Amino acid sequence: MDRGFLPATREEWDRNYGGQPDFVYIIGDAYVDHPSFGPAIISRVLESRGYTVAILSQPDWRKRESVQVFGEPRLAFLVSSGNMDSMVNHYTVSKKRRSRDAYTPGGMTGRRPDRAVIVYGSLIRQTYKKTPVILGGIEASLRRLAHYDYWSDTFRRSVLLDSGADLISYGMGERSIVEIADALNSGLDVKDITFVEGTVYRTSRPETLYDTIYLPDYEDMCADKSQYAKSFRIQYRNTDPFSGKRLAERYGERLYVVQNPPAKPLSQMEMDDIYGLPYQRACHPSLLTQGEIPAISEVQYSLVSSRGCFGSCSFCALTFHQGRIIQSRSQESLVKEAVRMTKEADFKGYIHDVGGPTANFRHPACKKQELHGACKDRQCLHPKPCKNLIADHRDYRELLKKLREIPGVKKVFVRSGIRFDYVLADPDSSFLRELCTFHVSGQLKVAPEHVSDKVLEKMGKPSRAVYDKFCREYRQMNETLGKKQYLVPYLMSSHPGSGLKEAIELAEYCRDLGYMPEQVQDFYPTPSTISTCMYYTGLDPRTMEEVYVPKNPHEKAMQRALIQYREPKNYELVREALVKGHREDLIGFGPKCLLRPRHSQNSDTLSKQTGNRKKKTIRNVHKSMKTKR
């Protein structure tokens, strides 16, 4: 029976259920019952298995009683920071407090704590000493083992230890949360739930571990950053659900944090079942008086068609969170959801997106992945597409065609990003033609991220030549179609491997393109990415070679300013960067110059020759003034 929203207030619980809930789910977001929100999926999956779930959204972490609204759950507390990491949600890359929280009514800030899963877990433990606490969501997933914390600039323990929780369900947790629920429901003590794939637990009995790889000890990693680089390489090589081994990390004499291998991918039927659950596709009614939740407007009329990504960009945590194996929904499931969308009162005829981490990935990269998983030491697309890669857009093309033919649908957009190197690897250009014909509205956003091959190699991105080729083919296709549509590139500054030379190369690219991005993403070192490991250790964990890392805030400001060199406020930073990079040739009046000289400059000049000439002129003026006196 569909009872609408899950209970989010005590009154709703007493009216519709009563008694003791099986689970109380504490989340840092406002409660939105939509399949683009992780807590909605986990709670609906549990409900579909016969368990009752009470949603405790954004409790006041300063009050112990705030976690007691529903009393003690029969089985466990579930804890998630929400759809975003709470620290990324709160702080910009320059560590300044954000003025808006897209997952809170009215965009208000201050409704969740920093490091939310630690705070919520500790708050529960103050009142309920023995009730099982299970962490989930991206914040816990990416902090499941020892990690570098950018905001405090420290190396921190597993979040399992700092939160007082019993288990972490990492990655996409539908499989593991059901297994945990069934185990608890059967009467098994939470301390004995050590066998579920996709979970992390603690133990002081290392003799019980088998087929386990032991990572460097936490204390050793604190003392030597290279030990963390070695640990991260082992972790990265064991993210595959088919070949990944159990990992153990020691703290002190006998305490171990143990990561079980990842959960197996979901089948298409399982994906269809999960996304076919009775989501209300809206925020909970109790929140309506507090203002709209900005995040829902981005996904309200979007379709999640897949999860996982074999692109494996170094700065992206998806390899650690969703894995490299693509899991997709059937066309029938997506069409059914789209038809349901068209019946909603506010639907205007536009499906805003059809995709996932990468929109045009709809099946595993190769046949081998379906049976044996992804390769440990080879990438599917980097540095060049693997010879076993199956680059085929036919299924995605058919899906988009079916969606745009639904009565009431005016336009279907593709906004979640495409891998242009994968488009080029497909020998059939039909997808590019249909993309430009039907699914772009003036601008297509793509993510080359940089143009220096040195930086792109560290990013795990294709070379500049590949992106240049895609630009040409995109332009030619639009000319053939008689359309004026443009590419909008996402660019990143200050990624490991990028010095001033590479940043200036990127600025020259923007000059030649005649494009100045309105926003520039400075590299953000979030937990559990290759790039963050490079940032912290100065080593590429894949090769253990040293990497140049721009950490000085002033240098990072210069690199960021170079991409927006036309902004008047960036003049001094750009000029300083060009001088320090020995590229004064880019300051002048030539067509290739980035800056024009300022006439007001005195001793602070662009070159010694110009400086001496200006000083001589000033001295002559002073002499003349004295003579007149």
Under 8 Å between Cβ of 133 and 123: no
Pick the closest to residue 212 from 257, 170, 177, 176 (CA basis): 257
Given this model, what pLDDT does residue 606 score?
A: 43
Q: What is the pTM of this model?
A: 0.92
| Reported confidence tier of residue 2, pLDDT bands at 50, 70, 90 | low
Q: Are both 477 and 558 inside the same structural domain?
A: yes
Evaluate whether residue 62 is within a structural domain. Answer: yes
| Reported confidence tier of residue 320, pLDDT bands at 50, 70, 90 | confident
Task: State the CATH number of the domain containing residue 107.
Answer: 3.40.50.280
> Encoding tokens for residue 554?
């002033």
DSSP letter (8 states) at residue 595: B
pLDDT in tens, 91-141: 999 999 999 999 999 999 999 999 999 999 999 999 999 999 999 999 999
Q: Are both 140 and 159 inside the same structural domain?
A: yes
Final residue belonging to a domain, choices 183, 200, 217: 200
Q: Are both 434 and 513 inside the same structural domain?
A: no
Final residue belonging to a domain, choices 144, 178, 200: 200
> Encoding tokens for residue 279?
């989501």
* DSSP string for residues in 246-303: EEEEEETTTEEEEEPPPPPPPPHHHHHHHHTS----EE-GGGGGG---HHHHHHTTEE
Find out whether the peptide bond into 7 is cis, omega within 30 degrees of 0: no
Under 8 Å between Cβ of 340 and 279: no
Mean per-residue pLDDT, 360-384: 93
As beta bridge partners, residue 154 has 149
Q: Are both 324 and 430 inside the same structural domain?
A: yes
Q: Are both 437 and 448 inside the same structural domain?
A: no
Q: Are both 192 and 305 inside the same structural domain?
A: no
Task: State the CATH number of the domain containing residue 309.
Answer: 3.30.750.210
What is the number of domains present in the chain?
3
The 10 Å CB-count burial string (b at 16+, else e) for 37-50 is bbbbbbbbbbbeee
Give the torsion sign (CA, 34, 40, 42, 45): negative
> Encoding tokens for residue 327?
């899991």
Helix (H) or strand (E) holding 117: helix 116-127
Q: Are both 535 and 426 inside the same structural domain?
A: no
Pick the closest to residue 566 from 624, 510, 486 (CA basis): 510
Q: Are both 390 and 498 inside the same structural domain?
A: no
- Spell out the alpha helix ranges (H) of 413-499: 420-425, 430-438, 453-459, 464-481
Q: Are both 410 and 466 inside the same structural domain?
A: no
What range does the domain containing 424 cover?
301-441
Q: Are both 393 and 447 inside the same structural domain?
A: no
Q: Are both 344 and 334 inside the same structural domain?
A: yes
Given this model, what pLDDT does residue 617 score?
A: 40
**Distance in angstroms (rounded) separating the CA atoms of residues 125 and 131:** 8
pLDDT in tens, 269-308: 999 999 999 999 999 998 888 889 999 988 999 999 999 9
Evaluate whether residue 210 is within a structural domain. Answer: no
Give the torsion sign (CA, 454, 455, 456, 457): positive
pLDDT in tens, 537-559: 999 999 999 999 999 999 999 99
Lowest-pLDDT choice from 426-435, 453-462, 599-608: 599-608
